[in-house]
Each structure stands twice: as C-alpha cells, then as structure tokens.
Copies of this chain bind each other. A is one copy, B any other.
Amino acid sequence: MFAREIELRGHIIDNLILPKAFDTILELEGDYKVLEFDIGKRKTDPSYAKLLVIGKNQSHLDRILEELQNIGAEIPEIEDVEVKAAERDKVLPDGFYSTTNHPTYIKYNGEWILVEKPKMDAVIVVYPDEKRAETKVMRDVKKGDLVVVGHKGIRVMPPERPREKGELFEFMNSEVSAEKPKQAIIRKIANEMYQIREEYRKTGKGGIAVVGGPAIIHTGGAPALAKLIKMGYVQALLAGNALATHDMESVLYGTSLGVDIKTGKPVLGGHKHHIYTINTIMKAGSIKNAVEQGVLKKGIMYECVKNNVPYVLAGSIRDDGPLPDVIPNTIEAQNKMREAILDKKMVIMMATLLHSIATGNLMPSYIKTVCVDINSDAVTKLMDRGTSQAIGVVTDVGVFITLLVEELERMEMERK
C-alpha cells in the first residue's frame, strides 16, 4: 500500500485547512483514513489531525503529498530535502519544486532553514556552506546551483487568519464591492497605515509601498498622493512612465493627458503636453535634476525626490518617450521592484492592473495588501493572486485617495 501519515495543526477548521485537505485528496482521487483527531475544545484552542493518505502508486501518492504540503500539512519523521545541481544557466533540473508565496522551511542536513525572499513560482536554491536557502526565479539560476526537487523536507506556513474581531484584514481576501460604504473602510485602512508609519519612524523598518497608475492623476488624486508622500506614509513608489509623466504634466501644464484637471475638459492642443513634459525632463537629464534646477516645484515625483522616497518606474511597450528615469528592461525593472517591496508591511495598489499584478507576483503572502480600482473585474483579478491579508475596494480612485488623506490628517490631529 502506498500510504503516508500527515499531520495538520492549528485552527485547521475555521482556517479551512482540514476541509481543503479533504478536498485535495478527493479531487486527486486519493483516499484517506483519519487516524487521530483532536478538536480544540474552546475557541482559542488549536486542533490537531493525523491522517493516513493513500495513493494508487508512489508517484500518485507523491503528487497528493505535494499539494497537501502547499496548504500547510506536515509529513512527520521528515527526511531532508532533495537537491539537484542545475546543468546549465537558466535551465532547471527535472522535478524542481515551484514555490508558493508563503513562508517556507526546508530541512537540510537535519536542520530546518527558513527560505529567504518568499515569492510565487520560483525555485529554492540551497547554499550548504552558509546554511542558507533562498528563492530564485528561473532566469537567475546558474549552472551548478543546488535546486530543491521533489517534495520531501519542505514545510509551508500559510499565514493564519487573524482571530481578533474588528480587524480590517480579518476577512481573507475579502472584496468591498461598489455597493458598499467606503468611509468605514477608509478609516480602517488609515488606522493601519498610521500604525505602520509610527513603527517605521521608530525602527526604520517596514513601511508602505504604493503601486499606482496614471488614473490617479486623471481622476484628480495627484495632490492627495503628493501629500501622502510628504506626510511620511510612502516608503516606496512603484509605477510606470505614465504616472510620472502625467503627474509632471499636471504640474507644468495643469492637464493630465491633455485634460484640464480643474475643469475636466480637454484643452485644445493638450494631447502634446505629455510629450512636452518628457522633453523638459530629457533636457534636465532626470527627474531629480528637474527638481534641483527648480523646473519641477510640486507634485508626486517632486515629493519623492524631496523626501528621499525611492521610486521604480518600470518600462512598458505603451510608453511614449520614455522619461530618462524609466527602466526599459522589464527584467531589471522586476528586480528593482522586488527589492523595493520585500521588507514592506503594506502595499496599496491603485488603478493599475499591470503594475499591481507584477508586484503581486513578486511579494510574499504576509504583506498586507489594499487594491483600489473602479473596475470590479480588476479588483477581483488582483485579489486572486494569493496574498492572505488583502482587501479590495471598488471605487473612484481620485476620490478614494483624497478621502484617505483627509482621514489621516484628522487622525494625526486627534492623536497628537
């Protein structure tokens, strides 16, 4: 018989881990027997289950076990991970283990090692001398890298759902539809942001990243985002050529994509403003230079420069210009984005499917995520990316960010 014991621990019923385990076995046409089951008697008690998982043959059993591991099951008397050296640069050994975005441990030489830089759809490379392991994307794998294969010796730790009542992120992956009151949500997000900023000010760690699209400027949200940066709530800005160009266009010409920000009407000839803006920055040499030369005197990009907030402007095939600060190589841009995001406590994604999904692909599951878009399909797509503490808000982004800043100002007044 091809069978193996697995164990599940924690709040496995209300975190849906046990139901998912049963579903997985059922779906893969495996079988199981419950060997032990110890349900938490009170709501604070964890539960425990020991199952015997049964497969049709060894590879069938292995496949089931692999899936069960990804939802958090442990395989007791665990063996070491198996590793294989890559034979060529960028080419993975057969049977490589593809990561989730959850914190993951591997057992190597009898010891549990936490894998660094968690990320989805990557592989785990082990450095035996340093007793270290980290995720690598396929293209960074070098000949000779020791890549984890199979499923032995791996333990995935999906974040537990917060059990505190009243928590913003108590609903896993909840979505706030267009037909919900937004003020309450904004208040909770503001509160969370306030705490993160305070912690960042004390420790210099964590902080908030903003991922944004040009609709922030089109919808009149630029002044609010600029103020958010000035107030110290943004520790990194991930965007593209369009957000930066239209922000500076709105500062230099009062328009966004040629539409007057004050009146909402197209200005004749305004469709050239973004090209003029890019040419102005080209002359200055960079956004930083433009700020220092006094060419750019306010706005989102200005505040980033003035407040030393790092920004990553990732290139796209839609770009006009692009600005000299844009990174045209998408692989280089991904690397910079990942660097900027890895240590953050929260990411706020606004009005950009491209940059938001790209960021979601690069980040660990424990970073809190807020997705804002007027299109509910976009929000749903973003919420499906596997972050565990995410909230989606379907609303007008220009209004959202304006109300968010007002709430933060009110909060600061009260808490002084």
Contacts and interface: CB of A to CB of B under 8 A. Distances in A.
A243 interface: no
A180 B14 contact: no
16 contacts: A13-B19, A14-B22, A24-B268, A33-B41, A34-B40, A34-B41, A138-B275, A138-B279, A178-B215, A182-B219, A314-B317, A316-B358, A318-B354, A374-B394, A377-B377, A395-B399
Interface in A213-262: 215, 218-220, 256, 259-262
B399 A182 contact: yes
Interface string A3-25: 00000000001101011001111
Given A13-B19, A319-B330, A328-B329, 9 more contacts: A13-B18, A37-B39, A91-B283, A98-B275, A180-B259, A182-B264, A182-B398, A374-B394, A399-B399
Interface in A37-54: 37, 39-43, 49
Count the copies: 4
A331 interface: yes
Given A275-B98, A316-B354, A320-B121, A264 B180 contact: yes
Contacts of A332: 328
B13 A181 contact: no
A249 to B, nearest CB: 13
Interface in A330-346: 330-334, 337
A272 interface: yes
A47 to B, nearest CB: 9
Interface string A378-416: 001000000000000011101100010000000000000
Nearest to A218: B179
Contacts of A329: 315, 328-330
A179 B215 CA distance: 6
A410 to B, nearest CB: 15
Contacts of A152: none
A272 B403 contact: no
B43 A39 contact: no
Contacts of A105: none
A282 B90 contact: yes
A384 to B, nearest CB: 10
Contacts of A260: 184
A41 B165 CA distance: 33
Contact of A330 (B42, B316, B396): B316
A96 B279 contact: yes
A274 to B, nearest CB: 8
A10 to B, nearest CB: 13
B43 A32 contact: yes
A134 interface: no
Contacts of A259: 180-181
Contact of A185 (B264, B272, B321): B264
Contacts of A98: 271-272, 275
A298 interface: no
A289 interface: no
Contacts of A322: 139, 331
Contacts of A261: 181, 184
B398 A396 contact: no
Contacts of A139: 321-322
B138 A278 contact: yes
A129 interface: no
A307 interface: no
A193 to B, nearest CB: 17
B275 A121 contact: yes
Contacts of A300: none
A39 B12 CA distance: 14
A104 interface: no
B19 A43 contact: no
A160 interface: no
Given A316-B354, A334-B317, A268 B19 contact: no
